[in-house]
Amino acid sequence: MTRKADLDAAAMALMVTLCAVWGLNQVAAKVANAGISPLLQAGLRSAGAAVLVGAWSAWRGVPLFAKDGTLAPGLLAGLMFAAEFGLIFKGLDFTTAARGVVFLYTAPFVVAIGMHVLVPAERLNRIQTGGLVAAFLGIVAAFGEALTLPADRQWIGDAMLLAAALLWGATTLVVRISPLGRAKAEKTLFYQLAVSAILLPVASVALGEQGLTDPTAMAWVSLAWQIAGVAFASYLAWFWLITRYPATRLSAFSFLTPLFGVLFGTVLLDEPFTWPLAAGLVLVGLGIRLVNTRT
């Protein structure tokens, strides 16, 4: 497998597409929340996508259960994936979505620091580091008006979203530096889906979620989109990218995801478009450009 030192046009276009898909997922999750509790929804999403990955792998002849040294890191990545979503959904019970976005999108810094230490070949220079900071400031510009001192127990949710960011970044590092980095993307994804498909419904019951509460047809359509479009197709593409391109530069594109989420909310849910969001888009675009300057 040949690893490239820079992102080419195809990788950049695919990452922008993935961020748009993940941003649309925020809208789909809101729609499905009307009848399916968040953690159960995430568990059903993982279970459905695991079935699709299994069928896809069988069709393509990709062995998912062959011994190749990926079991331990695969299970670890699956545990972190499940814990990340558990922290996100539970954390949003305590804090606002806008505050949560700012804390969650510290994850690319976790990847950058980890890759700086563990994979010197993927270290960022000063200009690229400045680009990462500029992209994060774009998130702060778009959502930062919510960053007043935490009210009541908001700090609990803030801490949980920050912990989720650490897990998100750490999962990327595990995939990049462990034997998973040499495994097929299908196998890497299957570990995470299978483990989270077991753990997230258990967490849903343990935390007293209501489960299925008379979901509408649109809620089921939204869940189907999350299964096929997000957890199967987009995550498969993401893990394929990680094994072939610099993880830090790929992670910088993730700053686009919440901005796409707001844009789709504006178009599909009649949510307001604000000037801070416009400023955020400019800063994130500039930051991504700087991060991907050639060394």
Asked if 148 contacts 110 with a C-beta cutoff of 8 angstroms, the reply is no
CA distances (Å), 191 to each of 123, 250, 285, in order?
Answer: 28, 21, 33
pLDDT (0 to 100) of residue 190: 95
Q: What's at 87, amino acid-wise?
A: L
DSSP-derived secondary structure for 71-99:
HHHHHHHHHHHHHHHHHHHHHTTTS-HHH
Among 260, 238, 242, which Cα is nearest to 1's? 242
The residue count for the chain? 295
Position 66 scores a pLDDT of: 87
Mean pLDDT by 10 residues, the chain (295 residues): 76 90 76 82 92 95 90 94 84 72 82 83 82 83 67 80 90 90 90 94 87 85 90 92 85 83 70 71 82 72
Residue 65: alpha-carbon gap to chain centroid: 25
The reported pLDDT for the residue numbered 121 is: 77
Q: Are 31 and 219 in contact (CB under 8 A)?
A: yes
Taking the C-alpha atoms of residue 116 and residue 99, their distance in angstroms, rounded to an integer, is: 28
Task: Report CA 113 to chain centroid distance, whole Å.
Answer: 18
- Model pTM? 0.83
Dist CA 50 CA 189 (whole Å): 8
Q: Which residue has the tokens 């995430």?
A: 42
Residue ranges of alpha helices (H) inside the chain are: 9-32, 38-60, 71-91, 97-104, 107-118, 126-143, 154-177, 185-206, 217-225, 235-242, 247-252, 256-268, 275-291
How far apart CA 169 and CA 243 sit, in angstroms, is 15
3-state secondary structure of 22: helix
* 73 CA to centre of own chain: 19
CA distance 177 to 190: 18
What pLDDT is recorded for position 148? 66
User: Do the Cβ atoms of 190 and 50 come closer than 8 Å?
Assistant: yes
> CB-based contacts of 32: which residues, under 8 Å, 6+ apart?
41, 215, 219, 220, 222, 223, 226
**Assigned token pair, 159:** 């801490």
The predicted structure's pLDDT at residue 187: 93
